[in-house]
A and B are shown apart, each in its own frame.
Chain A
Amino acid sequence: MTQLKCENVSLGYAGHAVVTNLNFEVNAGDYLCVVGEIGTGKSTLIKTLLGLIPQLEGEITRADGLSARDIGYLPQQTAFQRDFPATVGEIVLSGCLGHCAGRPFYNRNDRALARKSMERLDIYHLKRRCYRELSGGQQQRVLLARALCATSRLLVLDEPTSGLDPKATAELYDIIYDLNKKDGITVIMVSHDLKTSVKYASHILHLSAESIFFGSRSAYERSALGRVFLERIEEEHHD
């Protein structure tokens, strides 16, 4: 079932296109990794998919009854969030606001959903702890739990592992993979970590200044673009 489809889309800010002629589609249960070097428009793509900025050209269709309220988003952390006075419970619960149309306060269902998300990510015992006192990996779990409150269908993750140590990075990748496989949540993830992306993803969207690749992981590993980049990583690894 197609959830999201981009046809001949151009992306960018203020009339200046970063990416042109982009075509891809995401089906329910896919794990799509968006890779590419800095400045190739990965974050712009995410912001456009979420409706935070408009596309310059082309059409983005949400199908399968997917609305803005069905998208869970894990943004890159901003500097000021690191000293924000809020408890884990408060932050996770705020993910439910999309369902609270016309209601000023949270109800029992919202609280139950927040608890379920926290238990799913194994942070329920941190419920009353202050967000700014947590480790980077724990903070990402909190934001992921908040995203799970917003949706059970499509998660959009923007560089979820940036700033994490290798152990926390591996754990987070496992959690995301688990959510995709066990809970059937579609994942769209932006990453600069090509190696791990290729390991977990079912589909790859590679943005580069010269060309765009979209296809399954195995097709990517066989493609010219994919081979060049994967080899380059192997070399860096050996150095």
Chain B
Amino acid sequence: MTDMFTKLAIYFQYPFVRYALIVGVLIALCSSLLGVTLVLKRFSFIGDGLSHVAFGAIAIATVLKLSNNMFIVLPVTVICAVLLLSAGQNAKIKGDAAIAMISVGALAIGYLIMNVFSTSSNLTGDVCSTLFGSTSILTLSVSEVWLCVILSAVVIIVYILFFNRIFAVTFDEAFSTATGVNAKAYNLLIAIIIAVIIVLAMNLVGSLLISALIIFPALSAMRVFKGFKTVIFCSAVISVVCAVIGLLVSILASTPVGCTIVAADIVLFLIFMPIGKAKA
């Protein structure tokens, strides 16, 4: 036990470990906020879809040799999120089909572009780290950490300010529109927030595992708690706790960061499920 702590203490002397923890906690916090809304709107898989879009955008940025790929990845993902969430109700290709289409389409095109144009000697490694996050969270630069801190702060502040409206639009879009709340605008806002969160979270868990980060805390919290506010609060706490546990375990046991965090989320869900049953 003391062994473990001395080992951790040594690791925490390195700034990159501290950065990873800060970024991990912030991303976990942000991604849990909208989980409940997305699960309830039957958009659980939007995380997957959008993260694959982000993957495709990263592939293009890599080929174009852009120094900071955030400038292409963020706008592309935001545009796709807006298209999926706001056009979702009236589009010819609806909800899950549209997400599946964009998701696998972007994945295929992204890998194709990387394969054809890439000059990297370790193509499989590049792809794998984008998909599973692997170690990129441990190689964050100071500017990336700041960018993440600022974006997270913006997401959290916007979410708190619009909390009541996001609730109303999630619960009943027709009523909100009928009584003069601009539901379309808030759907747009939700789409933009979720896109920002996904681009942020790609660093932490990679594009294949983002959905887990978004939906598991929400599902666990929904088992046990009954109010919207308490569910959101609980899912934020669960998400942060799991991120910290996952990061620490992955450092100690040298396991991949993203997968370890998701595993922690799964364990907590399995614990919460019987508690919810017992309460009901």
Contacts and interface: CB of A to CB of B under 8 A. Distances in A.
Interface string A54-84: 0000000000000111011101001011001
A143 B163 CA distance: 20
Contact of A98 (B40, B160, B179): B179
A71 B176 CA distance: 11
B71 interface: no
A112 interface: no
B12 interface: no
Interface string B132-158: 000000000000000000000000000
Interface string A149-170: 0110000100000000000000
Nearest to A88: B227
A104 B42 CA distance: 26
Interface stretch (A28-36, A89-97, A182-190): A89-97
B179 A85 contact: no
Give the size category of A's interface with B.
35 or more
Contacts of A150: 179
Contact of B229 (A90, A106, A129): A90
Contact of B179 (A69, A91, A105): A69
Interface in B35-53: 36, 40-42
A40 interface: no
Given A81-B172, A97-B165, A104-B162, A87 B228 contact: yes
B218 to A, nearest CB: 9
A51 interface: yes
Give the size category of B's interface with A.
20 to 34
A98 B172 contact: no
A71 B179 contact: yes
B171 A97 contact: no
B225 A85 contact: yes
B227 A95 contact: no
B128 interface: no
A50 interface: yes
Contacts of B40: 80, 84
Nearest to A74: B175
A43 to B, nearest CB: 11
Contacts of A105: 164
A146 B225 contact: no
Contacts of A67: 180
Count chain A CB atoms within 10 A of each CB in B160, B175, B231 and give the residue with the most.
B175
B177 interface: yes
A80 B178 contact: no
B179 A68 contact: yes
Contacts, number: 92
Contacts of B42: 80
A98 B228 contact: no
A41 B231 CA distance: 39
Nearest to B229: A90
A90 B181 contact: no
B83 interface: no
Nearest to B222: A85
Contact of A71 (B161, B178, B222): B178
A209 interface: no
B227 A73 contact: no
A86 B171 contact: yes
B171 A98 contact: no
Contacts of A147: 175
A52 B174 contact: yes
Given A80-B42, A85-B231, A150-B179, A91 B171 contact: yes
B174 A85 contact: no
Given A81-B171, A85-B36, A85-B226, A73 B179 contact: yes
Contacts of B41: 80
B171 A52 contact: no
Interface of A: 47, 50-52, 67-69, 71-73, 75, 78, 80-81, 84-87, 90-91, 93-95, 97-98, 100, 104-106, 128-130, 133, 143, 146-147, 150-151, 156
28 contacts: A47-B174, A51-B178, A73-B174, A73-B179, A80-B40, A80-B42, A84-B40, A85-B36, A85-B226, A85-B227, A85-B228, A85-B231, A86-B226, A86-B227, A86-B228, A87-B226, A90-B227, A91-B171, A94-B164, A94-B168, A97-B165, A97-B179, A98-B179, A98-B181, A104-B163, A128-B227, A143-B175, A150-B179
Given A73-B175, A87-B227, 4 more contacts: A50-B177, A85-B228, A97-B164, A100-B164
Interface of B: 36, 40-42, 160-165, 167-168, 171-172, 174-181, 222, 225-229, 231
User: 9 smallest A-B Cβ distances: which pairs?
Assistant: A130-B226, A50-B178, A73-B178, A98-B179, A69-B180, A87-B227, A94-B168, A68-B180, A86-B228
